[in-house]
Amino acid sequence: MVITPNFHFHGDCEDAMKLYQKAFSGEITCLLRYQDANPQDYVADSRWGSRIYHGEMLLYGIRVMMSDLEPAEAENKPESPPLSLVVTMDTKEQVMEAYQVMKEGALIREQPQSTTYSSCFVSLVDRFGIRWEIMTEQTLQ
């Protein structure tokens, strides 16, 4: 199991990534824009096409994920904290076990589902206000 920080921005994710790259000799390892997202996973609002749907960096060897919040999320700040923790598990069963424990009193952002990048993905804000993304991970081809 791996826990990865995931930072959420209000349209300036790419600028933040460039800053962190320069400040910490970071390496940008993935940069996917909303306009390039698989429609099975997300249908982008044309105004957000060039914004960052998913970005990843290595900062001193630690994987950090980043993205721009969708406009509706950006307006609804309590339900969209600027940081989430991504828990990557080996199996769908592990994801579902964690979800069953975490869902009580939580705001479910995305129900358990299969995506092009995960056989099981769920997103929630727990009863303490912490945003979690619990998933399995497939290697993108």
pLDDT (0 to 100) of residue 141 = 43
Query: What's the confidence (pLDDT) of residue 79?
Result: 54
pLDDT tens digits, one per residue of 101-133: 999 999 999 999 998 889 999 999 988 788 899
The residue whose two tokens read 């290595």 is 58
Residues 6+ apart with CB under 8 A from 60: 24
Whether residue 27 contacts residue 58, with contact meaning beta carbons closer than 8 Å, is answered with yes
Q: Is 14 helix (H, G, I), strand (E, B) or coil?
A: helix
pLDDT digits (tens, 9 = 90+) for 38-75: 888 777 777 777 899 999 999 989 999 999 987 766 66
pTM equals 0.73
β 62-68/2-9 pair status: parallel
Residue 105 in tokens? 């009193």
Residues 6+ apart with CB under 8 A from 47: 71
Domains delineated in the chain: 1-80 (3.10.180.10), 89-141 (3.30.720.110)
